Structure formats: structure tokens, C-alpha cells
């Protein structure tokens, strides 16, 4: 646990009692604060009270009298489409609003660090797609390199739930736009921006607000090193804003598909090969084509981001290459869950939007595609240019028939359930093909979350192939 500093003897309100909220309450208590907890859910309040915490109705008048700060969970809107009523009341009372990420950055460093030979460092990863894989890959590389490391944030443990740092440790955090948007302190040593595509636009009042939330990670504290994906205009803008010019090696530009030879430091992947360039010279190269845990151009971009971050921490190319080959990938993200008679089964249940599904569809040459669920605005029309590798689509869920109308000439079968889709795709698949779950839709019509959807796919596959 990271005890929260700066609130000793003061009342601090905590709104939202999920994983991060309860971890925040414990860390505040450990730091000597008096946490006042609230959640609209009686079950969540009962769980907190069972731990010995006091719940205070923050919706009542004068609820913020004598309160030093309100700490809110990331899923609760604080500005758009409208502030939560408790947060609005805090604004009216002039009470600062923060989240657990802000508390982490104000509390992570301690006087114990004065005795360390090497100061601990924090690497933060944000972006639209690939955050989790990049974060986990950086953490894995550091483990292979023998560096003490912890992983937290939007993946793994809550940031205040991790252990106090040891000498030379590197903490790797995945941060969503919900987390970066509100944090009052953001001071990573290394910050990574993977890419940007439309998502959470209602929460950020449009694409500009969404990008602004991501940009805060780089603008608020100013990392020592910034790793920036420049395959979209926003990434090129961000790199240009941070760098003093092409010769500034504090910014490492990364790309999947574009040569970046004219900059002081860049890492890019083309035709399955990762290349690192420093001041006009190639200094390292890795063949990614045989790395099973990182299939496709989108994962090659993740590899470039993780490689650049770890190189900035002093890890050598050979160690990084070794770690790539032992990286198993993350559940529900281009995860191979079985293989039989030359047919590979891949679970990419995390591909909940068109952009991430497009990347999955470009990763394999011949696909039996399981898609559908609770479709998002715009449907899947934008995927039509990426369907050339799809032998047949097997459609499930609420939007199955809507998706069928948007597939053009691609053969399809309305399966409705995962059980029938896996059975049909397995029946049709031939050696050399991939049965791919990449839904391009939310899961909430049939599953509580994308993880449960991916687990169902995995269970169906394993039951069929033995």
C-alpha cells in the first residue's frame, strides 16, 4: 500500500467504492486522514462498512463542511455529459476534486528514497488501443531483465494498492483518459502515447476533449522521456509540441508502417521487422514475425512502444528481443487459446470497437470471423475495406442482423450465440485458417463484460478441440 501524504488529520471524501475507491480509502487511512465514504449502491456501502469504514451521505447539504478534498473513482463523470451531483456539490463548495492517480503521484516518493542507490521510476502508458498489451509487455521485459517492477493502474492492481518502492524499482501504469483527465498530479518519468481513435466521446464532449485528456499526461508534469506513436495526426502534433526539433532525443517517435529515420531517436516496424534508429543510424533490429504473443501490425506498434520505453530505461536490445519471445500476451487481446489440425483459435474479445477489430482482422491471412454483440454508433461499415482476409463471418448477439447488412459480399451466417458460432466456424475452418473472435461491439447484450465473453469463447473452443 502507498499511504497518502498531505492529508494527515483531515477529512477526505471518497466517492465510488469499487476497487480503486476502497484502495483509496485504505491508503488515506494509512496516511492519517479521516476518509468519508459514499456510493449510491447500498451493497458497496455495506462492503465498506464491513471493513470498518464510515459512510457519509455526500449528497446532503453541508456534506463538504470541513472536507479537504473529494477523491472520485474514474468511472464517475466529473464534467461531461454532466457532473455527478456529488462532484457538482464539491465544485460549488470549493473543495478540490482528485482521483487515486493524483494521490499516487503526490505520495509515491518518500524520505526512504534518500538511501537508495537508484531512484525508483514511473512509466505511464496511455492511448486508445494497445495500452494494456504495451503496459504488460514493458513489465514483462523489465522482469526478464531482472529489474524490480510492479504493474498497476487500469490493469492489475490499483495504484495505491501496490507496495512501497524498493531501490531501482520501475512502476508501470496503464492510464485511461478517465484517469488522466482529473488527476491533479501527473509526473511520470517516462510517458507513452500509443495511438488515438474515437472512443468515450460523450465523456469528453468530443474528439478534442478526448485527446486533451490524454495530452495531460505529457503536459502537466513533463516526463523526462516521451514515447509517442505518430501514425495519427494527434501523435505527430504531440511529438512536435514536446520536442525542440528533430534532433531532440527526449521524444522517441514510434510507428507501425512508416520509416522514421530523420529523427534523433525513433523506433518503427515495417514488414515484420522492428528497427531502432539513433541520429541517422540503425542501431538495432528485431524480427517480429515469429513472436507468437504479438501478432499483427497493431501488436508490432505495441512492441515498438514497449521497446522504446525499455531502451530509455537502459535495457539492451538483446534482452528485449528475448522477452518478446517469452511474452504470452494478455487474455482477450489477440490471445491464442487453442490449435487443432492446423486451425488456430484467437480470442480478441477486447476488440469492442471498429478500430481495434480492424487491427485484428489485418493480423491474419485467412479468417473465420466471430463478430457481434451490442453494436456501437456507425455499425461496422468502416470495416468493409478490411474484410479481404475474412472467409466467412459468424454473427452473434443483438446486432447480428444489422452487421449482416453491412458486410457487402463477405459470406456470413447468423449464429446468435457463441456456442453456435464457435461450432459453425470450427466446422468450416481449414488448415492454415484462424477462427477469430473480434466482436467490434460491446458485450452487454449477452455478457457482463468483454472478459466473460472471451472466457465463453475459450471454453467453447477447448470443449470442441479437446
- Annotated binding-site ranges for ATP: 127-133
Cell 518478446 locates to 324
The sign of the dihedral angle between the CA atoms of 413, 297, 450, 337 is positive
Nearest to 224 by CA among 191, 196, 200, 257: 191
Report the alpha-carbon distance of residue 107 to residue 357 in Å, rounded: 38
Classify residue 318 as exposed, middle or buried by CB count within 10 Å of its CB (0-12, 13-18, 19+): exposed
Report the alpha-carbon distance of residue 288 to residue 320 in Å, rounded: 12
Nearest to 355 by CA among 256, 238, 439: 439
Q: Which three cell numbers stand for residue 322?
A: 528475448
Nearest to 19 by CA among 149, 161, 150: 161
The helix or strand, by DSSP H or E, that contains position 219, with its residue range, turns out to be helix 207-219
Contact 81, 205 (CB under 8 A): yes
Geometric angle at alpha carbon 281, from 277 and 287, rounded to 5°: 50
3-state secondary structure of 6: coil
Nearest to 246 by CA among 227, 232, 266: 266
Contact 165, 113 (CB under 8 A): yes
Cis amide linkage into residue 81, ω under 30° from 0? yes
The helix or strand, by DSSP H or E, that contains position 343, with its residue range, turns out to be strand 343-347
Contact 242, 224 (CB under 8 A): no
Helix count and strand count (H, E) for the chain: 15, 19
Cell 536490445 locates to 317
Cell 509515491 locates to 108
Task: Return left, alpha or beta for 153; rule: phi > 0 is left, psi -120 to 50 is alpha, else beta.
Answer: left
Report the alpha-carbon distance of residue 402 to residue 235 in Å, rounded: 34
Query: CB count, 10 Å around CB of 114?
Result: 8
Report the C-alpha dihedral over residues 453, 457, 128, 19, rounded to 10 degrees: 40
Binding site per annotation, positions: 127-133
Geometric angle at alpha carbon 425, from 325 and 271, rounded to 5°: 35
Amino acid at each position: 500500500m502507498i499511504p497518502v501524504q498531505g492529508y494527515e488529520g483531515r477529512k477526505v471524501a471518497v466517492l465510488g467504492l469499487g476497487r480503486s475507491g476502497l484502495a483509496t480509502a485504505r491508503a488515506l487511512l494509512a496516511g492519517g486522514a479521516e476518509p468519508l465514504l459514499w456510493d449510491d449502491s447500498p451493497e458497496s456501502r455495506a462492503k465498506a462498512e464491513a471493513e470498518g469504514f464510515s459512510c457519509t451521505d455526500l449528497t446532503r447539504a453541508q456534506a463538504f463542511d470541513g472536507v479537504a478534498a473529494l477523491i472520485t473513482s474514474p468511472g464517475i463523470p466529473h464534467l461531461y455529459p454532466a457532473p455527478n451531483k456529488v462532484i457538482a456539490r464539491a465544485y460549488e463548495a470549493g473543495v478540490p476534486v482528485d482521483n487515486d492517480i493524483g494521490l499516487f503521484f503526490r505520495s509515491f516518493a518518500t524520505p526512504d528514497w534518500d538511501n537508495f542507490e537508484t531512484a525508483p521510476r514511473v512509466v505511464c502508458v496511455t492511448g486508445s488501443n494497445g495500452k494494456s498489451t504495451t503496459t504488460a509487455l514493458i513489465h514483462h521485459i523489465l522482469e526478464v531483465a531482472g529489474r524490480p517492477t510492479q504493474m498497476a493502474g487500469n490493469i492489475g492492481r490499483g495504484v495505491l494498492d501496490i507496495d512501497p518502492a524498493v531501490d531501482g524499482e520501475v512502476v508501470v501504469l496503464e492510464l485511461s483518459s478517465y484517469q488522466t483527465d482529473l488527476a491533479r498530479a501527473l509526473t511520470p518519468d517516462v510517458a507513452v502515447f500509443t495511438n488515438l481513435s474515437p472512443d468515450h466521446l460523450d465523456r469528453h464532449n468530443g474528439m478534442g476533449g478526448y485527446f486533451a485528456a490524454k495530452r495531460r499526461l505529457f503536459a502537466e508534469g513533463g516526463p523526462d522521456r516521451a514515447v509517442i506513436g505518430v501514425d495519427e495526426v494527434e501523435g505527430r502534433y504531440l511529438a512536435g509540441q514536446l520536442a525542440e526539433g528533430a534532433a531532440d532525443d527526449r521524444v522517441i517517435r514510434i510507428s507501425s508502417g512508416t520509416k522514421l529515420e530523420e529523427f534523433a531517436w525513433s523506433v518503427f516496424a515495417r514488414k515484420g521487422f522492428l528497427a531502432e534508429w539513433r541520429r541517422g543510424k540503425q542501431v538495432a533490429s528485431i524480427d517480429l514475425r515469429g513472436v507468437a504473443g504479438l501478432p499483427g501490425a497493431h501488436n508490432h506498434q505495441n512492441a515498438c512502444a514497449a521497446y522504446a520505453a525499455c531502451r530509455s530505461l537502459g535495457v539492451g536490445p538483446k534482452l528485449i528481443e528475448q522477452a518478446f519471445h517469452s511474452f504470452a500476451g494478455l487474455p482477450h487481446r489477440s490471445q491464442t487459446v487453442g490449435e487443432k489440425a492446423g486451425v488456430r483459435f484467437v480470442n480478441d474479445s477486447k476488440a469492442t470497437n471498429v478500430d481495434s477489430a480492424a487491427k485484428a482482422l489485418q493480423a491474419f491471412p485467412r479468417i473465420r470471423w466471430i463478430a457481434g454483440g451490442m453494436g456501437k454508433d456507425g455499425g461496422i461499415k468502416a470495416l468493409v475495406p478490411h474484410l479481404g482476409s475474412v472467409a466467412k463471418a459468424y454473427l452473434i448477439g443483438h446486432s447480428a442482423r444489422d452487421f449482416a447488412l453491412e458486410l457487402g459480399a463477405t459470406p456470413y451466417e447468423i449464429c446468435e450465440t457463441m456456442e453456435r458460432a464457435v461450432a459453425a466456424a470450427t466446422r468450416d475452418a481449414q488448415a492454415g485458417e484462424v477462427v477469430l473472435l473480434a466482436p467490434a461491439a460491446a458485450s452487454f447484450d449477452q455478457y457482463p463484460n468483454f472478459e466473460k465473453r472471451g472466457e465463453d469463447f475459450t471454453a467453447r473452443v477447448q470443449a470442441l478441440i479437446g
